[in-house]
Structures are given as structure tokens and as C-alpha cells.
A and B are shown apart, each in its own frame.
Chain A
Amino acid sequence: TQLLEQSPQFLSIQEGENLTVYCNSSSVFSSLQWYRQEPGEGPVLLVTVVTGGEVKKLKRLTFQFGDARKDSSLHITAAQPGDTGLYLCAGARTGANNLFFGTGTRLTVIP
């Protein structure tokens, strides 16, 4: 059973377009991380959101944690080819050492 479902699974857009990736669950998480992974490399941590309703910005990337801490979104403004990669959300639970990874969204930004 996959706790965190991401949508869309695949996304191919032109450079300069905006996009949103969703990460949804029926479970509550104490925090949620977003990672980006390039082919043949390990995931790189982009952001951690902890408080329900929290919004964090990282240059052209905006991350939001749902009020109930069950879902999150990642919005990219004016996508660039360097944004291409696999985006993974991952939820943490208090007292648990493991992360629950989402199903992943593979983004391709075409120049």
C-alpha cells in the first residue's frame, strides 16, 4: 500500500511554463520533504515543511503543506530545463525513523 500518491506521474512541458505537482495521502505526517533526483544520482533534499498550511519558497519553487498535514504541493514558475528530474515527496511520522516516499513525478522541461 502506497501511503503517498503523487500526480501527475509524468509531466512534459515547454520551458517557461508553470506547473504543479501534488502529493496526497489519507494519513497525517509530522513533516513532509520534497526531493529532486537526477538520473543515476541520489535524491537531493529541496525543502521540509512542518506546520499545517505552511508555504515555503525556494527561488521559482513554492511548496505548500496542507492544513491537515495530509497533502502537499510543489509549484514551479517559469520552468527551466535544469528543473528536469524525478520529484519525490516523503512523509515523516513522529517516533518513526523511516520516511514514506511518494510514487514520484518525472518532469521533463523541453528547451
Chain B
Amino acid sequence: DTEVTQTPKHLVMGMTNKKSLKCEQHMGHRAMYWYKQKAKKPPELMFVYSYEKLSINESVPSRFSPECPNSSLLNLHLHALQPEDSALYLCASSHPGLVYNEQFFGPGTRLTVL
């Protein structure tokens, strides 16, 4: 299985809602990533988990809260978001520590904050 899955595909939420994005991979990868991508821009790294531990937090606001329950799953909990947080949220996975760090991406969750 060489696929990274993300749910939901689309999400519309109000600024007072709490929601979660989910990501799953079964490639045995022990590094997982959350990226945010605005239209016509490259992905921006948000968080990196390596061996289920948070290793990088790119100064992301606390209204985004990541969680890695096990080596196959990655969640992103959302609370009190702002309209400017509307974007495509991408999950990726890789083997940590390798020279080439090939990352495999999921299809993304299109988030709209009203």
C-alpha cells in the first residue's frame, strides 16, 4: 500500500467550530507531516512528527493542534479558526533520517472557514 489517505476531502466550518482532519498511511513510514497550501503557492510546513514525537512546529498558532496517536495516524485538531486559515491542508509521510527524504502526500483536505 503506497497511499496516504486524508479525510474529509472538503470541510466548511465556522470560526467557533471545533473539527479534526485525519491522515493515515500504511507504508511503515515513521515521519509524518502537516502542510498548509494557499492557492498557487508551494506547500508550507506546519508540523513534523518523527517516531510519533513532535519534532518540528513551524510557529503555528495554537488554534491548530496536531496529534499522532500511532505510527500510522496523524490528526490535526482545529478550533477557533480565522477565514485566512482557509487553504488546502496536506498530510505527507516518509522514512525519517534518510538522505533523500522522499515524501508521499495525501490528496489534501480543502478547508473553508466562514
Contacts and interface: CB of A to CB of B under 8 A. Distances in A.
A31 B43 contact: no
Interface in A19-61: 30-31, 33, 35, 40-45, 48, 50
Contacts of B100: 30-31, 33, 48, 50, 92
Contacts of A48: 100, 102
Interface in B52-100: 55-56, 88, 90, 92, 94, 96-97, 99-100
Contacts of A94: 99
Contacts of B41: 104
Range for the number of chain B residues in contact with chain A: 20 to 34
A1 interface: no
B42 A97 contact: no
B42 A33 contact: no
Interface of B: 4, 6, 31, 33, 40-43, 45, 48, 50, 55-56, 88, 90, 92, 94, 96-97, 99-108, 110
Interface of A: 30-31, 33, 35, 40-45, 48, 50, 86, 88, 90, 92, 94-99, 101-104, 106
